[in-house]
């Protein structure tokens, strides 16, 4: 019996060994290295001629106006962008949940933007929102509306990025669509017999039943927006006037443009702490709002 138990234990560790190696190689070691360099003045990765500076990097980081600007921009995309994108995903999923002729084709069309590489999508987005020859401004001109500098305007670049996120949100739409399909039909039938309106059925049946999926999408989208980089870089290079300068863009500039590797690691540790804290808060708050059918 003991020999069989030892064999099962050995087999268990052999199965999880690849995961352990990957975890140590791609997370634990890089994370430990980042923490180490965050307390030094190293300018390049792998540098040997550096000094320990204690918490000076953290102090300088909080005193940097560009860092604070990037933090505020990122928080804007989290606080405003996540609810808008999540609502957009849910709205599209509800439209695609109707059983009408040709709906499968429409579902395919709505998912196609997700399959396009983000770099190509951003380039297309630049053409659509170009202030001189963009398709959108051409349409506005045909209606007698003056051109709008979508990408070059401080107050318009953020909405453009949020719209781009909705455009590439096919994965979230699929998650919501699957959740909607799993809502028991008899609940809607019983509510209809009781005379409940469509709005009441949505808030009292649909939302509670798909609330676990809503929580999952919100957490994933929150992490994505905290780490937003490609959109800000390719659309406007963080401009104009740092209006789209995100947190990860600032890390990138610190590491590869300003050659302040230790400062980039400091900012990375700060970002990790913020994402972890926000995720824990979301999980804690979710206990009041998320409904799990198995817990009835």
pLDDT band at 40, cuts 50/70/90? confident
Asked, for residue 58, whether it belongs to a domain, the answer is no
- Element counts in the chain: helices (H) and strands (E): 16, 0
Give the integer Cα–Cα distance in Å for 268 and 27. 13
Asked, for residue 106, whether it belongs to a domain, the answer is yes
pLDDT digits (tens, 9 = 90+) for 46-80: 667 788 888 888 999 999 999 999 999 999 999 99
pLDDT digits (tens, 9 = 90+) for 236-288: 888 888 999 999 999 999 988 888 889 999 999 999 999 999 999 999 988 88
pLDDT digits (tens, 9 = 90+) for 197-249: 888 888 888 898 999 999 999 999 999 999 999 988 988 888 888 999 999 99
How many other β-carbons are positioned within 10 Å of the β-carbon of residue 182? 11
DSSP code per residue over 178-241: HHHHTS-HHHHHHHHHTT--HHHHIIIIIHHHHHHHHHHHHHHHHHHHHT--HHHHHHHTT-ST
- In the chain, the number of structural domains is 1
Asked, for residue 15, whether it belongs to a domain, the answer is no
pLDDT digits (tens, 9 = 90+) for 130-152: 888 888 888 888 888 888 888 88
Mean pLDDT for all residues in the chain: 88
For residue 159 the two structure tokens come to 């909405």
The per-residue pLDDT for 54 is 85
The per-residue pLDDT for 282 is 92
Asked, for residue 192, whether it belongs to a domain, the answer is yes
The partner residues of 40 in beta bridges, in order of sequence, read: 52
Reduced to 3 states (helix: H, G, I; strand: E, B; else coil), residue 43 is coil
How many other β-carbons are positioned within 10 Å of the β-carbon of residue 151? 21
pLDDT band at 7, cuts 50/70/90? confident
The per-residue pLDDT for 141 is 83
Asked, for residue 230, whether it belongs to a domain, the answer is yes
Residue 295 has pLDDT above 70, yes or no: no
Report pTM. 0.87
Asked, for residue 146, whether it belongs to a domain, the answer is yes
Asked, for residue 209, whether it belongs to a domain, the answer is yes
Domain hosting 143: range is 65-295
Asked, for residue 276, whether it belongs to a domain, the answer is yes
The per-residue pLDDT for 1 is 54
The per-residue pLDDT for 215 is 93
The per-residue pLDDT for 133 is 81
Give the CATH number, domain containing residue 171: 1.10.3720.10
């Amino acid at each position: 019996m003991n020999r069989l138990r030892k064999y099962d234990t050995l087999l268990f560790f052999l199965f999880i060994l690849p995961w352990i190696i990957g975890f140590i190689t791609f997370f634990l070691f890089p994370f430990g290295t980042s923490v180490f360099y965050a307390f030094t003045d190293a300018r390049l990765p792998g540098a040997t001629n550096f000094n320990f500076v204690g918490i000076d990097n953290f102090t300088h980081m909080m005193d940097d106006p560009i860092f604070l600007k990037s933090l505020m921009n990122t928080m804007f995309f989290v606080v405003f962008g996540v609810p808008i994108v999540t609502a957009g995903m849910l709205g599209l999923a509800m439209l695609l949940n109707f059983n009408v002729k040709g709906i499968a084709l429409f579902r395919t069309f709505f998912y196609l933007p997700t399959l396009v590489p983000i770099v190509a999508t951003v380039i297309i987005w630049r053409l659509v929102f170009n202030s001189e020859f963009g398709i959108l401004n051409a349409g506005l001109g045909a209606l007698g509306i003056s051109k709008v500098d979508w990408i070059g305007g401080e107050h318009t670049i953020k909405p453009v990025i949020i719209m781009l996120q909705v455009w590439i949100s096919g994965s979230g739409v699929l998650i919501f669509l699957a959740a909607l399909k799993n809502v028991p039909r008899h609940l809607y039938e019983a509510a209809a017999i009781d005379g409940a309106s469509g709005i009441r059925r949505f808030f009292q049946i649909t939302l509670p039943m798909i609330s676990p999926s809503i929580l999952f999408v919100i957490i994933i989208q929150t992490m994505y927006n905290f780490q937003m980089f490609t959109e800000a870089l390719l659309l406007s290079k963080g401009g104009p006037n740092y209006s789209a300068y995100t947190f990860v863009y600032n890390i990138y500039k610190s590491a590869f443009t300003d050659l302040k590797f230790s400062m980039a690691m400091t900012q990375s540790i700060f970002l990790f702490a913020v994402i972890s804290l926000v995720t824990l808060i979301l999980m804690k708050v979710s206990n009041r709002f998320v409904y799990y059918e198995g817990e009835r």
